[in-house]
Structure 1
Amino acid sequence: MRSAKVLVINLGALGTEITKNLVLSGVGSLSLIDSHIVGTQDLESQFFVSKDEVGTKRLDAAASRIQDMNPRVELNFDKDDFRTKPSSYFQQYNLIVATDLHSADIVKLNAISRRFSVPLFVAGLNGLSGYIFVDLIQFDATDEKLKSSMATPLKRLSQNREVIEVIEHFNEEQSKTFERIVTRNIYSPFEKMLKEGSLKGKLTRRQLKRLTNAVPLTLALFDYDDETSSLNAQDLREKATEKCVQLGLPVENLQQKYIEQFAEQAGLEFAPVAAVIGGAVAQDVINILGKKQSPLNNFIVLDAITLDMHIFEL
């Protein structure tokens, strides 16, 4: 944690929550890049800016408040548009967290992060829903548990997760034997997830019945890129239907109320949803930097109406 260099892209509601959690956790170096101006919508969804700072750069308004939370963290602020940076700019970081991006920008950033083997988190909000995409490329996580009567076998846990090593060690102080389990996680890039991601054969009938409409609708919104202002419920239904077919989900489960909600709330920031998604991202980043516990793999959707938070390997 103390030696890590982390980049956070955009300081909206999500970026604010993630930044707060990482700074308070004591990450070694945190760089923030954001070219946006403080608007009235920022006053409703985050706590680093005030109404007197509307019209100023978000980073100028937030910098001193962020630093005050933990003076021991090295902070760097960049008011350029991240899209103007050369690919080599991103190579210097141990991990990148990007928020509030359109799908085309995510695809480009993910290609860069993979080129330099830099772990990437992407998160966004759609009103009462939010998502997290994770691409660690390949990550070996270490967990420790008390050994039971049956030793943990080396085996494949899922399509993208496999136990590759189990080491026993005896704790003299507790007089117990523990297992140190190494699990290898393989990740898919964002573009492949959008085009080929599927849940066919991965869910039980009960899970399919309970699955929130927020999953296909979130993926459908990526097809709009930066044109969500012009979307309508009928067009969104057609795109969500296509995603249901791709994912292997029952099309008849799509509900009109969800479609209309997503059409109205695409890209909107609600502070409570930002707090949940931002907290989940920051906690996983902390786990990864400490190489503890198996990380999220690889797509997460929160439905704040049903309070469901689904994790999928797509």
Structure 2
Amino acid sequence: MVAGQANELTEDEAELYDRQIRLWGLESQKRLRNSRILIIGVKGFGAEIAKNIILSGVKSVVLLDDGVLTEEDTCSQFLAPVELVGSSRAEASLMRAQALNPMVNITADTSRIQEKNENFFKNFDVVIATECTLSELKRINQICRGNNIKFFCGDVYGMFGYIFADLQVHQYVEEVTKLPSGKGDGKKKLEPVKITVKDTANFVSLSKALGVDWSKPENAKKLTKMDYSYFLMRVLLEFRTKYNRKPDPKNRMADIDTLSSLSKTVLTSLQVPQDKIPTTVFSNVFAEISPVCAIVGGVVSQEIVKAVSQREAPHNNFFFFNPDNFCGFVETHSSSD
């Protein structure tokens, strides 16, 4: 729950956020102004999210990353100056991040995510996890569910990107266009009107979203029409969990072979046909490509703003950016257990 929602915006904040207030309203901006955000992982994708969230006018942002800034990072990580290569990635990002919006409290945390217990996460309203193993993502998600914290995770692998959201039971309002009822007086054409409606979206945990039984007839039917991105994500998460890293451009050919092998293992375990993932796609999942970070980072940032402001229907529950056709789309997955 966002703390202190009764707090009013200062005159300086009202002036700075004037355009946003006109877009999504004063109450939504107040909710944003009182929200505390944790961003785990500040490589290119995390930096893109940080930029957008800081500019939106939240209360505070913590950049948590125990890694060291590398030359490869600077190809997509625009918050950290190249001259700070070799220093803490989180701390190197602070100066430029703060310059984006002096009214947001931004801090760096160089601890390992594995060291953070439940009490740490209670300090936040929204958690976005990147650069994590699957086991860590599930652990953080469960902590968030137990403490009514909005959870997002995602990553960018070359030309591919994904986002997962768990907002639990999320209430929101949205404007819909409707035609007035009745026939009118016959002299004037009835014009569509916009009305505000309330709705609720129910989300599942990451474990449930990944627990679909694809051998069930109703799920097996979906496979023929379904994009391969969900399964590519499963392979990449398996790679990350097994090797505690992303595919490395310096080890390109060996990692492509490893990904191909993992693909067979993952698809077999899910009881999904081996040809579901085209083998050619593995050559496109290396490094973090800046335009993809911008697209996927922009989408998750928008979803965070929507979740905090409680305006507009959220994406429930996966967003994928396909590396073949360069299109983004939403899919909903959940086990029936």
What is the TM-score of this pair, normalised by structure 1?
0.81
Q: Give 1:168's aligned residue.
A: none
**How far is 1:41 from its partner?**
1.2
Is the contact made by 1:16 and 1:47 (CA closer than 8 Å) also made in structure 2?
A: yes
| Match for residue 220 of structure 1 among 235, 259, 262 | 235
Q: Which residue of 1 aligns with 2:125?
A: 94
Quote the sequence identity (%): 23
Normalized per residue, the structure richer in strand is 1
Contact 1:33-1:77 at 8 Å conserved across structures: yes
Structure 2 partner of 1:238: 264
Match of 1:26, as an amino acid? G
For the residues of structure 2 that align with 1:86 and 1:277, how far apart are their CA atoms? Answer: 28
Cα deviation 1:130-170 (Å, max 9, x = unaligned): 1101111110121122332579xxxxxxxxxxxxxxxxxxx
Retained in 2: the 8 A contact 1:244–1:251?
Answer: no
Alpha-carbon offset, residue 212 of structure 1: 3.6
1:37 positional shift? 0.8
Residue of structure 2 aligned with 1:12, choices 43, 52, 68: 43
SS in 1 for 2:301: helix
Q: Choose 231-240 or 70-79, whichever is displaced more.
A: 231-240
Residue identity opposite 1:78 in structure 2: D
Give how far 1:107 is off: 0.9
User: Counterparts of 1:5 and 1:72 in 2: how far apart (Å)?
Assistant: 13
- What is the CA-CA distance between 1:176 and the residue it aligns to? 7.3
Distance 1:84 1:125, change over 3 A: same
SS of the residue corresponding to residue 286 of structure 1 reads helix
Q: How much does 1:239 deviate?
A: 3.2
Shift in CA distance, 202/147, structure 1 to aligned 2, threshold 3 Å: farther
Shift of residue 100, structure 1, vs aligned partner: 1.3
In structure 2, the residue matched to 1:274 is: 293
User: For each residue in 1:58-108, what CA deviation from the matched residue of structure 2 results, as whole angstroms up to 9, or x when unmatched?
Assistant: 122111111111111121221211221221110121111111111111011
8 Å contact from structure 1 (residues 103, 223) kept in 2: yes
1:194 aligned to 2:210?
yes
- 8 Å contact from structure 1 (residues 100, 124) kept in 2: yes
In structure 1, runs of 5+ residues without a counterpart are: 152-174
Task: Give the Cα separation in 1 of the matches to 2:192 and 2:295.
Answer: 37
SS in structure 2 at match of 1:56: coil
TM-score (norm 2): 0.76
Structure 1 residue 253 displacement after superposition: 4.4
Counterpart contact for 1:100–1:125, Cα < 8 Å = no
Tell me the residue number matched to 2:305: 286
Tell me the C-alpha RMSD between the 2 structures: 2.8
Q: Which position in structure 1 is the counterpart of 2:164?
A: 133
Query: What is the count of residue pairs matched by the alignment?
Result: 283
